[in-house]
Amino acid sequence: MWSIGVVTYILLSGISPFQGSSDDETLRNIVAMEYEFDEECFGDTSAMAKDFIEKLLMKEPLDRMTAEECLLHPWIKPLTRKQAANRSRSSINMKNFKKFNARRKWKMSYNLVWACNRLNRLHLRCKSRAEDQELRQCESDQEDTDTKPASLIRRRLSSTS
């Protein structure tokens, strides 16, 4: 039921109720249940719609409306003509919702590009390490353990002169 409150908030305003500037801030807002009905986004939204959202965005699950209660809420099932008129004022804010969706898609695209770049860098590191291993297998780099140390020193001295 909490999710229905979040989705309703997003559909009516075009913004996320708990959105912060970072993932950590968003998580803190969710845990603290900190949200507000911004006048810019909720200026045309009825009090009944806000009431519907508030009764769903309750921290304690037992305090939230049930599905049956939601179906009987005046915003969903108006009892009078005035409630019906107020309900029609609270509709999906498509302009803000499109902005919200565009931001979400942009963030997903950014994360995808970041992940691809990261994988590419890791691949290049692994590839260069593999090439280094191949170079280390070169015959001249192998330690000669069969020859006595004195003859190895003579051989090295003669090769540098």
Place of tokens 């780099």: 141
| pTM of the shown model | 0.54
Q: 10 Å Cβ neighbour count for 44? A: 11
The answer to whether the CB of 101 falls within 8 A of the CB of 72 is no
CA–CA separation, 14 vs 95, rounded Å?
Answer: 7
Percent of the chain with pLDDT over 70: 68
Average pLDDT over residues 137-156: 58
12 contacts: CB under 8 Å, gap ≥ 6: 41, 42, 45, 49, 53, 90, 91, 92, 93
Q: What is the pLDDT of residues 16-41, one digit of tens each?
A: 899 888 889 989 999 999 899 888 88
Residue of higher predicted confidence among 114 and 36: 36
Most confident of 5-14, 49-58, 71-80, 107-116: 49-58
More confident position, 100 or 67 = 67
